[in-house]
Amino acid sequence: MNFDPSTYWEALFSWPFLRGAMLTLGLTVAAHLMAILIALPLAVVLNGPPSVLRRLITVYVGFFRAVPTLLQLLFVWNALPQIFPVFREEWFTPFLAAWIALSLNESAYQVEINRAALSSIDSGQMAAGQAIGLKRSHIYRYIMLPQALRVALPPTMNEFITLLKLTSLASIISLQELMTVTQINVARTFQFSEYYAVALTWYLVMVYSLMGLQKLVERRFRWSSRTEANALAESRRSRGW
């Protein structure tokens, strides 16, 4: 066996790999947050009555789902500056380009998740909200979204994990994320297994931490289960709700 543990340990906590892992996580969080921000109002419109806007959104969703993510990345990084001179300036970094491309790409998938989650809520909830005289925005904020979140969380987490790994595509536009750093070190030393193991470790740490976070958030949805609602109610009661 030819695995040098000291190379592994040294690289694992070295600045380039730490920075790469942080860039990967940072880009994923930033892109997914933006995607959710774009997707929420679009999903609300899709959940409403037919309109011209609804058709436009359907076209938008189809477009970003059809075009390969790699092509979207390359387009934003290479073609956009060709078309609009503003993007030729210093501020347009690989991180920014990747953020724009991945946000738009991810928003198309997130729209579908949010729409499905909203339409899974019983129509009586909307009617009950209206009947007690709540504004539409309040009905969404306090009644529809909290319930839709429960349905949307697992597929959203799936998307987040997919996106986390998709950020490695940004190595092609020279973003120094985790996989780029790994490739550079491998090319320099030919110590494949050590540096691949470092990348693997960081991806595992990130994904398992997220899964733990998901479990914590899901505890707040125990109201939906006949057997667990009691525990949630009791714990809130003991804290003086």
Partner 1 sequence: MIRLRNVNKHFGNFHVLQDVSLDILQGEKVVVCGPSGSGKSTLIRCINHLEPHDSGEIIVDGLTVGTPRDVLTVRRTAGMVFQNFNLFPHLTVMENCILAPKLASGVSDKDARKMAEEYLARVHILDQAWKYPIQLSGGQQQRVAIARALCMRPTVMLFDEPTSALDPEMVGEVLDVMSELATGGMTMICVTHEMAFARRIADRVVFMDAGRIVEVAPPEQFFTAPQSERARTFLSQISH
Does 5 contact partner 1 by CB under 8 A?
Answer: no
Q: Which of residues 132-151 bind partner 1 (CB under 8 A)?
A: 132-135, 138, 142-143, 146-147, 150
For residue 108, with 0-12 CB atoms within 10 Å meaning exposed, 13-18 middle and 19 or more buried, which class applies? Answer: buried
Nearer to partner 1, 147 or 167 (CB): 147
- Determine contact, residues 151/120, Cβ cutoff 8 Å: yes
Contact mark string toward partner 1, 78..117, x via CB under 8 A: ----------------------------------------
Cβ proximity to partner 1, 83 vs 131, nearer residue: 131
Q: What are phi and psi of 14, to 5 degrees?
A: -75, 155
**CB closer to partner 1, 165 vs 222:** 222
Is there binding between residue 118 and partner 1 (CB under 8 A)? no
Q: Does 239 bind partner 1 (CB under 8 A)?
A: no
Nearer to partner 1, 50 or 124 (CB): 124
Report CA-CA distances (Å) from 151 to 59, 113, 119, 147, 168: 25, 9, 10, 7, 28
* Residue from 53, 71, 86, 127 binding partner 1 (CB under 8 A): 127
Binding site for partner 1 (CB under 8 A): 122, 124-125, 127-128, 130-135, 138, 142-143, 146-147, 150, 221, 223-226, 229-230, 232-233, 236-237, 241
